[in-house]
Structure 1
Amino acid sequence: MTCARSSRPRPRNPDRNRTRNRLGTAITVAALSLSLGACGARLSADQKAAAVAYGQGAHDGGAQSANGSQTSNSSSGTTGGTTGGNAANGTTGGTTGGSTGGSVTGGTTGGTTGGSSGGKTSGGTTGGKTSGGTTGGTTGGSTGGTTGGSSGGTTGGSGNPGSDTCTGTASGATAPGVTATSISLGNASDLSGPIGGLFSSAAQAVQAYVAYFNATHANGICGRKLTVHSYDSQTSDSGDNQQTLTACQADFALIGSVSAFDSGGAASATQCGIPDLRAVSTTRARQTCPVCFGTDSQQLPLVPQIQPDFWNKQFPGTGTKAAFLYVDTGTTAQQAKSWEAAYAKDGFSWVLNQPIGISESNYTPYVIKMQQAGVQYVQFLGAFQEAATLAQAMQQQGFVPKVFVLDPTGYDPNYVQQAGSAADKTFVFSNAAMFEEAGSNPETQLYLSWLKRVAPGAAPTYFGMFAWSSAELFTRLANQIGPNLTRQAMIDALKKVTNYTGNGMFAPQDVGGKTTSPCALFMQLNGTAWKRVAPGSGWSCGKLIDSGVR
């Protein structure tokens, strides 16, 4: 069951639309950089952080019933037919995997050997959700009963804590939002504001996971089905606080939320003790909140060393003639300084640090500055709209640096469409799987399939992936806790999660320790298609650099 709750929308002044759009675009730049570990200074409660969700595409039809059950135009969805997404409908996961080896594949290998205790992991990195996973096929197949089964089911094996099944039966209410038959979850994300639907993909992803879980887990969590309320945090501190307070009373936990001004509800979440497992925390206040966690874990001001190392190795010498351009908001400027300081510790020399006004539309003067300075490496921090403007200005001036790099805000078909041929050869780094590689990533397939059913036409995004996985991690820990589900028990369980991969959907995350992931992959746009550059698969990981910027 899904419910939408928000405050009455405030009237807008049409004369301010242009300014609001520019401000809204600028607001998008900060949190995604935080989520990748390229972090800025400590953020006070009134400092702004946000992000752009990326990914777009039309999808086939489907519908969601009021009770969260699904219908689809395909017989069992993208993953249901081939990998057993609907438990009983899959070719491999259906009979065996659905009942014993996890909710997707794993029927033949992870299922029969990993068994019920292996659950979704069945001994591998992706475990029961693949046909045994990378190690589940070889180890989980032959030894999954012991390593994938008992270890995966109890401790999570390789990055997958908790359990896919619950022992015992619920008998009554144990906490706010919990009854004998249901667990109510909340998602408070920015659905309205300067950019409409800024983080709607996070809400959609949680709705999709709840629908998937209820459809494929007949017993729910010890007999309790999941419901979810979608709250609109309205891209404001007050909106985030208001919806946090609402969830404190109505829901057991907040799951998969993303809000640009999430500092607003940090104190309220702490005071009421609600477990807040976010897709990502965008402000220092939410990151340090004792009941708040993120599947995209992070800690300011740590920056993965693998990023500058990659550019130094692939393009020797370019870092000695580097330029950093960014949309000039308070948080963005801090993040740019943090990035620059961290990269400088790894051999970079910044010959140009260029803030760009949020209302600026002519980027040519900045391109000329770079040409005159002999810049070879260009890094930009801003929304995809500004990135496209910069790329076009560079093309018009005939300026072709050896490296032009964006964070995942640029991993967006709208960037490619808006920039046209000027976008060619753009680099992007990310710590999450590429949608182009979904064919080899069962968890990504599962997310895409159920997103189609719940929200036909919705865009799969970076934030959607982490929101989906927040719900996945919650169910595993709730199953592990058992019938006596309490908020404190969930918070205690979250603190112990140190190596979570979302079943292979992203690089390992220290959810409990709230430490930045030191990993990344690198991709490049070739024509109109994104291609992986490095590593050949997965992510490259290294040390973390403390930029010293606070």
Structure 2
Amino acid sequence: MNGKAIGRVAAGALALAMLAGCAGERGGSAAVPASGGDAQSPAAAGGQGQETFGTLASPCGPGDAKGATDQGVTDTTIAIGYGDDRGFTKAPGLSKEMGDAVSAMIKWCNAQGGVNGRQIVGHQYDAAYMQAATVMQKACTQDFMLVGEGFAMDESAEQYRVACKLPVVAGYTVGPNAAMGPMKFEAVPYPVDYYNAAPLKLAAKTFPEFASAVDLVTSTSPAVMAGSNKIAAAMKDIGIAPKKCGVQLNAEGDPSYVPFAEKFKSCGVKALWTSKSPDPAMFSLLESLDRVDAHPTLVFEATWYSQAVAKWNTSGQGDNIHAGLIFQPFENADKVPAVKKYLDLVNAEGGKTALLGMQATSAFLLWATAAKDCGSELTRQCMVDKLSQVHEWTGGGLHAPTDPGANMPSDCTLMVKLTGSTYKQVAPATVGEFECDKSNLLKTDPGTWGTKLDEDRVATTFLTSDVIKPQA
């Protein structure tokens, strides 16, 4: 991977990790309720008195599993690695919610007896943004698996993970080789070769102006340009033609955003979409739109579901902001038991709560469910086999159904709207429901993948002949 490519990955990684961390995806068109269960586990209604996580019966509890079956596994313990980039000096606390979530889940699981009686020993890592490769090399020497971690520079660590045959149930991935790597599973996959257009379709269905008079707010940032190109291609696939008003923000900032606002207004824009993060430049643009009396409908990426945005919106200039989510918003906690459970467990430990924390929590639950099914035969091969068979997963109701086993994203979304400092679900109308349709999954242009995939949709860059593959 050349230096420019690494730079692009780094820029995208930082934007994703920083902004996702600020926040507080079946056949036929259908509304999926929050109470949907997970394919691998019985629903909470299953045994009286059993510990649950939302609709998921807890995979943790006592048992008689025995044997030092693989690296990091003994008669009594299972060693897993997890962590984030909290020590990054330019963004202290980066993705801290992920490590906090897994730490709380380990404590919750061990209090029930561990997994089949084996206690979980967690090795927490701080990749501090630039140390992902160093962290991975250490994990290679002591951990059974990585679980629920999120390292912004995971691409730099992927060659070491593959070489030491360390399976992972990631909290999130960024680099294309990490997202499509062997022995890699995610509770909420974001593969490079498919895109979930559900938020775009729901926006067009909800707001006629989005379908007829939308434009993109782009930037000179390589990460934003790449995201904008993907969105433009998806819009074309579903019959939406952006107006192409020619507005592009400078990634280093602009002296005034009023000219951009006036250009959007004179161009006849009635709706805006952006892959750009909620940063001071975007806030200035929104304030400038208000100043020139332009009030387009704003439908933005999930990163705009953020406490930073809510705190900025003191004057109501962001009251027209909508965001498409595949996770249940925290405001739905009274209707979605899994969200309340997540908040209760992490808050009890004084941890940070945010969407990436729920993502890491779902990853832990997915890992623990597979580990329970392996019993005394707890090997990396068994874990890869079991995880590859999970084709419907919601983390007990934390998010819309995904397909971890096939590395396929959700085909669902819900939409929230910001009013003042409060977000509220506005579509579908029933709180807690998602709108889903298989046709929402669009194939992407291989030229945008950033890596080559084999016939199994696995990145070939670091692939070796002895990686652990699912066996029937």
TMscore range, shorter length: 0.7 to 0.9
User: How far, CA to CA, are the matches of 1:26 and 1:494 in structure 2?
Assistant: 28
Does 1:53 pair with 2:21?
Answer: yes
Aligned to 2:342: 447
User: How far, CA to CA, are the matches of 1:302 and 1:389 in structure 2?
Assistant: 33
Q: What SS does the aligned partner of 2:274 have?
A: strand
Q: What SS does the aligned partner of 1:325 have?
A: strand
User: How far, CA to CA, are the matches of 2:343 and 2:225 in structure 1?
Assistant: 35
- Name whichever of 346-355 and 521-530 sits farther off: 346-355
1:439 Cα offset (Å): 1.3
Aligned to 2:203: 311
Given the superposition, is the C-alpha separation of residues 180 and 244 from structure 1 closer, same or farther in structure 2, using an over 3 Å criterion?
same
Aligned to 2:417: 524
Pairing partner for 2:15 from 12, 29, 35? 29
Judge conservation of contact 2:10–2:153 (CA < 8 Å) in 1: no
Deviations 1:173-224 (A, max 9, x none): 2222222221111114211333122111111110010011112x13x22321
| 2:154 maps to amino acid | D
Given the superposition, is the C-alpha separation of residues 396 and 28 from structure 1 closer, same or farther in structure 2, using an over 3 Å criterion?
farther
Aligned to 1:323: 215
Q: What SS does the aligned partner of 1:378 have?
A: strand
Pairing partner for 1:412 from 306, 310, 315? 306
Pairing partner for 2:100 from 179, 204, 218? 204
Given the superposition, is the C-alpha separation of residues 169 and 314 from structure 1 closer, same or farther in structure 2, using an over 3 Å criterion?
closer
Pairing partner for 1:293 from 175, 179, 185? 185
Deviations 1:32-84 (A, max 9, x none): xxxxxxxxxxxxxxxxxx7531334xxxxxxxxxxxxxxxxxxxxxxxxxxxx
Q: What SS does the aligned partner of 1:545 have?
A: strand
Q: What are the ranges of 5 or more consecutive residues in structure 1 without an aligned counterpart?
A: 1-22, 32-49, 57-100, 130-162
Q: What SS does the aligned partner of 1:350 have?
A: coil
Judge conservation of contact 1:188–1:240 (CA < 8 Å) in 2: no
- Name whichever of 323-332 and 486-495 sits farther off: 323-332
Does 1:546 pair with 2:438?
Answer: no
User: How far, CA to CA, are the matches of 2:366 and 2:73 in structure 1?
Assistant: 18
Deviations 1:513-539 (A, max 9, x none): 111211110011123221111112321
Query: What percentage of residue pairs aligned between the two structures are identical?
Result: 23
Q: TM-score, normalised by structure 2?
A: 0.81
**Map 1:368-447 → 2, pairs under 5 A:** 368-386=262-280, 387-401=282-296, 403-420=297-314, 421-447=316-342
Q: TM-score, normalised by structure 1?
A: 0.70
User: How far, CA to CA, are the matches of 1:366 and 1:301 in structure 2?
Assistant: 33
User: How far, CA to CA, are the matches of 1:250 and 1:355 in structure 2?
Assistant: 47
Aligned to 1:509: 402
Pairing partner for 2:162 from 260, 270, 277? 270
Given the superposition, is the C-alpha separation of residues 371 and 24 from structure 1 closer, same or farther in structure 2, using an over 3 Å criterion?
farther
Aligned to 1:284: 176
Judge conservation of contact 2:56–2:395 (CA < 8 Å) in 1: no
Judge conservation of contact 1:501–1:508 (CA < 8 Å) in 2: yes
Aligned to 2:250: 357
Q: What SS does the aligned partner of 1:440 have?
A: coil
Deviations 1:244-273 (A, max 9, x none): 111111211111111222111112111111
Q: What SS does the aligned partner of 2:191 have?
A: coil
Given the superposition, is the C-alpha separation of residues 290 and 25 from structure 1 closer, same or farther in structure 2, using an over 3 Å criterion?
closer
| 1:212 maps to amino acid | W
User: How far, CA to CA, are the matches of 1:164 and 1:274 in structure 2?
Assistant: 23
Aligned residues: 414
Pairing partner for 2:237 from 334, 341, 345? 345
User: How far, CA to CA, are the matches of 1:273 and 1:55 in structure 2?
Assistant: 33
| 2:436 maps to amino acid | C
Aligned to 2:47: 111
C-alpha RMSD of the superposition? 2.5
Q: Higher relative contact order by CA 8 Å / sep ≥ 6: 1 or 2? A: 2
